[in-house]
Amino acid sequence: MHGNPTIVARDPLLKVENLVVEYPIGARTVHAVSDVSLEIARGETLGLVGESGCGKSTLGRAVLQLRRAKSGRVLFDGADLTALQGDALRKMRHRVQLIFQDPIASLNPRRRIGDIIAEPLVIAGVKDAKKRRELVCETLSAVGLDPALVVGRLPHEFSGGQCQRICIARALVLNPEFIICDEPVSALDVSIRAQILNLLEEMKQRFALTLLFIAHDLAVVKAVSDRVAVMYLGRLCEVGPSAQLFDKPAHPYTALLIEAIPVPDPDVRPAESVAVGEPPSPMAPPSGCRFRTRCPRADAKCAAEVPELRPVASGQYVACHHPLI
Ligand SMILES: Nc1ncnc2c1ncn2[C@@H]1O[C@H](COP(=O)(O)OP(=O)(O)OP(=O)(O)O)[C@@H](O)[C@H]1O
Ligand code: SF4
Ligand SMILES: [Mg+2]
């Protein structure tokens, strides 16, 4: 394992250090997250992007300790979550919440919305039922839902967009500092995605939140993130300020993702893809640079040596032996 790269964010709220997460499958191992280090500053939105199966959700779950890492550390406001157990971990978890991709599936179909949103308060030990009701109503109003019309109803009575508002309310009710949004708009109708993204932005400002925003769609990530981290097959390829990374990507994989963003003009054809084929299996990742089997710049060094993240421009870091800038 190599050292922690200096992806220095001002006043980091979250620091992930050399995180390794694996899933044993019989005699084999899925290398889902391999030696990932990153920092997220207080009040920042870090976008995490990469194709399906590259380990984004696993990284998010490992930050929350829903999946324990094989090695590495997760420091939240200075406390090492990987070393916490029981009550101490539960207390820290109130400060970090998760919003899932599929809002309907993540709501218990048999429970009323008022109870669903009050549940984190019950678990956190808020015993006063009147206080819980007040907090539930306040939070529902904040996400644009009328409490009087919502609390007594069941999830199936709401649309996907309304369910995601309910999930956002459930995540906000304990007044957290940090929210991991795991593809929060992917399952929603295109017409309401912007509403939910705007709501998240509004909540971020109003409640001074810090966000890790996971998506496979680079266009969505670009719209909401201060900085972007690009992940491929369990490793980080590139991290940098959003506009800068889009303007001058340093990693061939980042360039590929940018080229693949659909162009609104039907007469403009998307650029030819620089990469070929499917990603390799995370059970047998390529030696050296994991992107080398799809990279037009790959050479012998790429097969022999794992490229470490290193600075290429102000605030921009790349893990590539032959970067584009
Ligand atoms: N519980 C599990 N058991 C075994 N393998 C798993 C498990 N969860 C995820 N994986 C594997 O780990 C790798 C990373 O999965 P993960 O869900 O973190 O990717 P992702 O980037 O979130 O993908 P997606 O964009 O599809 O949500 C994949 O190869 C996946 O098949
Ligand atoms: S290290 Fe080599 S294979 Fe990997 S992205 Fe850079 S040039 Fe391509
Ligand atoms: Mg995922």
Q: Measured between alpha carbons, how far is 123 from 153 in angstroms, rounded to an integer?
A: 22
Residue 98 has pLDDT above 70, yes or no: yes
Residue 318 lies in a domain: yes
Q: Measured between alpha carbons, how far is 239 from 256 in angstroms, rounded to an integer?
A: 15
Q: 10 pLDDT band (50/70/90 cuts)?
A: confident
- Which structural domain range is residue 318 located in? 1-95+210-325
Q: Write out the E strands in the chain.
A: 12-25, 28-41, 45-49, 71-76, 79-80, 96-99, 178-182, 210-215, 227-232, 235-241, 310-313, 316-318
Domains identified in the chain, total number: 1
Residues 6+ apart with CB under 8 A from 130: none
**216 in ligand 1 pocket by Cβ < 6 Å?**
yes
Q: What is the pLDDT of residues 309-318, one digit of tens each?
A: 999 999 999 9
For ligand 1, atom 31, name the residue with the nearest CA: 53
CA contacts within 13 A on the Cβ side of 5: 23
| Ligand 3 geometric centre to CA of 56 (Å) | 6
Cβ density class 258-267: b for 16+ within 10 Å, e for less: bbbeeeeeee
Residue 106 lies in a domain: no
Residue 180 lies in a domain: no
**252 in ligand 2 pocket by Cβ < 6 Å?**
yes
Q: What is the pLDDT of residue 3?
A: 45
Q: What is the pLDDT of residue 265?
A: 66
Closest CA to 237 of 264, 217, 256, 260: 256
Q: What is the pLDDT of residues 131-151, one digit of tens each?
A: 999 999 999 999 999 999 999
Collapsing DSSP to helix, strand or coil, 280 comes out as: coil
Residue 309 lies in a domain: yes
Q: Which residue has the tokens 């904040």?
A: 142
Q: What is the pLDDT of residue 266?
A: 63
Residue 150 lies in a domain: no
Q: What is the pLDDT of residue 5?
A: 52
Q: What is the pLDDT of residues 236-289, one digit of tens each?
A: 999 999 999 999 999 999 999 999 887 766 665 555 444 556 789 999 999 999
Residue 166 lies in a domain: no
Q: Measured between alpha carbons, how far is 178 from 97 in angstroms, rounded to an integer?
A: 6
Residue 323 lies in a domain: yes
The pLDDT of 17-26, averaged and rounded, is: 97
Which of 235, 292, 309, 317 gets mutated to test ligand 2 (max ligand atoms within 8 A of its CB)? 292
Residue 325 lies in a domain: yes
Q: Measured between alpha carbons, how far is 102 from 188 in angstroms, rounded to an integer?
A: 8
| CATH number of residue 247's parent domain | 3.40.50.300
Query: pTM here?
Result: 0.94
Write the DSSP string, 162-180. HHHHHHHHHHHTT--SEEE
What percent of the chain has a predicted confidence (pLDDT) above 90? 85
